[in-house]
Chain A
Amino acid sequence: MRNLLRWETALVFLLIVVALTGQVSTDGSFLSGGNLFYLGLDIGEIALIALPLTLVIVAGEIDLSVASVLGLSSALIGWLWNAGWSLELILPTVIVVGAICGAFNGFLVTKLGLPSLAVTIGTLALYRGLALVVLGDTAVADFPASYTAFGTTPVPGTNIPYPIVLAAILAVLFGVALHASSFGRSVYAIGANEEGARFSGIRVKRVKLILFVLAGAVAAIAGIVYTFRFSSARADNGLGLELAVVAAVLLGGVSIFGGKGSLFGVLAGVLLLGGLRNLLILQDTSTEVLTIVTGLLLLVSVLAPSITRRVGTLRKATP
């Protein structure tokens, strides 16, 4: 626990450093209201998906199919819209489909006992493939302005984009679920010692299934946000986004081996990752470099705990 707190303090410190260097190197435009709005928009989907994914990873599992669920839900929106459905009907449908995608992952993991890494690599391809079947490589863009404004205008009187408001509300819900509820305790126990959790009467499979369903549903919500933000439903929306989300979660101090981490850390991780990416975009960095930076951050966050441990034992060993 103490290690975790130290890591979170370090994250906040890093955030301040990034903010200040950003501010200086961009002559003050980094922290300007306008840029903060775009930064918020940019991290909206990552922040959303990171919430349930945190719980999944704390429980010792992983879901790599989330970005594909995002793409599938975007494609579905376009297809159903073309088919003449109303958006009031489309949106709940899409969320249910996302939940079903998650449930399918959860079923394969809990009922068939397959490793979630393999399962969700499979469904990563499967769901993206389905998205392409649904919509092909066309784009649907003629959504009503009342919906797309959601992604292009801030909450009146502020610089806060609507997706961030949504993410904040969900963050509170997920935070309470993970840190203050008996469900959250079960999640930690499963991640730290699955056998021990079973011996304590925790319904391990059910908890895991719920987590996968949540991940699917929230990924679908992120798909809705994404679609209206760019006013474009496409099958390849959010391609590769799982990398950024997993990086943010691990950067936030969640152990890839399960059992450890906090939602607060993950939110800091999302901000840090988003801030860095935004800063690089402001400086006209190419997308390849962005991907490289994300990958490096992922590596750093996986390596950091073992490095700090190594340093810790070294310090102990030399009196």
Chain B
Amino acid sequence: MDRPPVVALDEVSKSFGAVRALSGVSLRLLPGEAHALLGENGAGKSTLIKTLAGVHRPDSGRVEVDGSERRFSTPADALAAGIAIIYQEPTLFGDLSVAENVFMGRQPLGFGRRIDEAAMHARTSELFSRLGVRLDPARPARGLSIADQQLVEIAKALSFDARVIVMDEPTAALSAHEVQRLFGVVQALRAQDAAVLFVSHRLDEVFSLCQRATVLRDGEFVWSGPLTDETPDSLVRRMVGRELSQLFPKEDTAAGDVLLSVQRLTREGVFTDVSFDVRAGEIVALSGLVGAGRSEVARAVFGIDRPDGGSVHVRGRKLKYGSPTAAMAAGIGFVPEDRRQQGLVMDASIERNTALASLGRLSTFGLLRRSSERALAQDWAVKLRLKFAKLSDPVGVLSGGNQQKVVLAKWLARKPSVLIVDEPTRGIDVGTKAEVHRLLSELAGQGVAVLMISSELPEVLGMADRVLVMHEGRLVEELSRAEATEERVAMAAAGQAVTR
């Protein structure tokens, strides 16, 4: 452990107006290690990473690479110094192909300086196969699920052959299978002496991947050290500053009437013959690998996409195809997976985003009652422990986990009777995750039917009354709470379920 660090951040501070995002934070990244960067939502992890990347300039403090001070002014500078970064929110170019996104700005050139498409696709496929990803390099990036977007970003970072790879919540939307492949790749990188900085709110991942960790709290450095003597509880204590129960299991409720009934729903080439019911008071989890079609089913139920066949009934009444407005009128709420594109209007304020799905209820004769709007946002900000400066700030300046809370607030504020949540706790820290789970459990207790898509197995096992598992567009398994174990869900997701 006596080797000099490849990257050292020394007493780095950064403020945004009155918000002190970082004050005097230090971090040492050693060659060949996987280092976890931990902290609650808004603790300053992403800001620290952006300072390292040259996206932000530190107000004070030093960034050192290989022992000499560097001042990166753009991410390109950081890349040139061998630091590749996967940001928290994927930022792919929708109109370009997946391969072009991976090789953005440095496409392999062929004869006459023309882009060598074949070479580009081949190299992208090679990266994907290292990650175990099945994606067509030629397809456009638009329409990729958030997990696939994240995988493309990972492939892109790997393609640089960097010595330092920084990953800001790369696994937040990935299921166990993809996470294992990613960890395999990281181990290979470590063997080549690369350093990996890893951000995740899933502590089990941290323990299985990382050797050392650094903890931030409210922008301040708290602790750094080896993980050998730590436990998940001790880390949480460092992050939160107090004791915290980590998991909140769902309370038992008697299931009531069928509120949501999906019958033989089919979208050609995406999912086939999907049928299930969700009763009042029930939380039903839709599990499966990335790309199994879970989000697509949710989108079709909510009316974003038009199914080719089958039907959706809410309280026994057939829902109009392809109309989110009709779905909302029937009482469905839908927290989508991609907060940047689907969940939020990034430039609009926190309060406007919170109110956006409740406009009708907040207005009289079409005129918006500003005070009610503010009260609604204020109310939910407190309930979800949102970390913000002003409610009129654009939602885009919030930390990733806090943005997710606003998406949740927006839909919970509608008091839906059927709530569909797609990765509801993506990027949300341990403490708030328990809070969200308590909220979902409480909603179920009040008779709401909850359909939950989650890639995080502990969340699925802890929350769901029933687990439905999808594999390649079909429902392959249904497990009761008692039957659902990690193995059985994973087997079914991999397509090895005992057929029903």
Contacts and interface: CB of A to CB of B under 8 A. Distances in A.
A249 to B, nearest CB: 19
A203 interface: yes
A286 interface: no
B392 A189 contact: no
Given A199-B334, A201-B328, A259-B347, A185 B342 contact: no
Contacts of B368: 180-182, 184-185
Contact of B367 (A1, A180, A197): A180
A195 B327 CA distance: 16
B343 A185 contact: no
Interface string A250-293: 00000000011000000000000000000000000000000000
Interface string B185-224: 0000000000000000000000000000000000000000
Interface string B335-360: 01000011111111100100111011
A182 B362 contact: yes
A186 interface: yes
B163 interface: no
Contact of B57 (A1, A184, A199, A319): A319
Interface string B54-91: 00010000000000000001000000000000000000
B325 interface: yes
A189 B344 CA distance: 9
A1 B350 CA distance: 13
Chain B residues touching A, majority SS: mixed
B496 interface: no
B304 A198 contact: yes
Interface in A39-87: none
Contact of B356 (A181, A200, A203): A200
A138 interface: no
A192 B347 contact: yes
Contacts of A319: 57
B359 A195 contact: no
Nearest to B359: A182
Nearest to A179: B368
A195 B363 contact: no
A316 B346 contact: no
A193 B392 CA distance: 18
Interface string A181-218: 11111101100110111111111000000000000000
A182 B341 contact: no
A176 interface: yes
A236 B352 CA distance: 44
B324 A198 contact: yes
A113 to B, nearest CB: 14
B105 interface: no
Contacts of A201: 324-325, 327-328, 357
A317 interface: yes
A189 B356 contact: yes
A199 B302 CA distance: 9
Interface residues of B, number: 32
Contacts of A203: 325
Interface bracket on A: 20 to 34
Interface core residue of B57, B347, B410 (most chain A CB under 10 Å)? B347
A181 B347 contact: no
Nearest to A177: B366
Contacts of B347: 192, 259-260
B72 to A, nearest CB: 12
Given A192-B345, A199-B304, A176 B367 contact: yes
Nearest to A203: B325
A196 B343 contact: yes
A317 B304 CA distance: 42
A272 B394 CA distance: 30
Counting chain A CB atoms within 10 Å of each CB, the highest count among B304, B334, B345, B394 belongs to B345
B400 to A, nearest CB: 16
Nearest to B346: A193
Contact of B392 (A1, A180, A192): A1
A196 B342 contact: yes
Contacts of B346: 192-193
A186 B359 CA distance: 9
Given A181-B363, A182-B366, A197 B345 contact: yes
B366 A199 contact: no
A192 B353 CA distance: 12
B304 A185 contact: no
A184 B362 CA distance: 13
Nearest to A196: B345
Nearest to A184: B368
A117 B352 CA distance: 29
Nearest to B56: A316
B342 A199 contact: yes
Given A185-B356, A188-B348, A198-B324, A317 B363 contact: no
Contacts of A189: 345, 348, 356
Nearest to A317: B73
Contacts of B342: 195-196, 199
Contacts of A184: 368
Interface string B375-400: 00000000000000000101000000
Nearest to B363: A182
Interface string B391-426: 010100000000000000010000000000000000
A185 B352 contact: yes
B324 A316 contact: no
Nearest to B339: A196
B270 to A, nearest CB: 18
B295 to A, nearest CB: 12
B360 A316 contact: no
A261 B394 CA distance: 15
Contacts of A202: 325, 356
A189 B346 CA distance: 10
A181 B360 CA distance: 10
B73 A182 contact: no
Contacts of B73: 317
Given A182-B366, A185-B356, A200 B410 contact: yes
Interface centre among B325, B359, B392, B410 (most CB of A within 10 A): B359
Given A1-B392, A182-B360, A317-B73, A196 B57 contact: no
Contacts of A176: 367
Contacts of A193: 341, 344-346
Nearest to B335: A199
Q: Output the residue of A182, A196, A197, A201 with the most chain B CB within 10 A.
A: A201
Nearest to B333: A201
Contacts of B349: 1
B53 to A, nearest CB: 15
Nearest to B341: A195
6 contacts: A1-B394, A192-B346, A199-B342, A201-B357, A202-B356, A316-B57
Interface of A: 1, 176, 180-186, 188-189, 192-193, 195-203, 259-260, 316-317, 319
- A-B pairs with lowest CB-CB distance, top 5: A182-B359, A201-B328, A199-B342, A182-B363, A193-B345
Given A198-B324, A199-B342, A200-B410, 4 more contacts: A1-B349, A181-B366, A188-B345, A195-B341
Interface of B: 57, 73, 304, 324-325, 327-328, 334, 336, 341-349, 352, 355-357, 359-360, 362-363, 366-368, 392, 394, 410
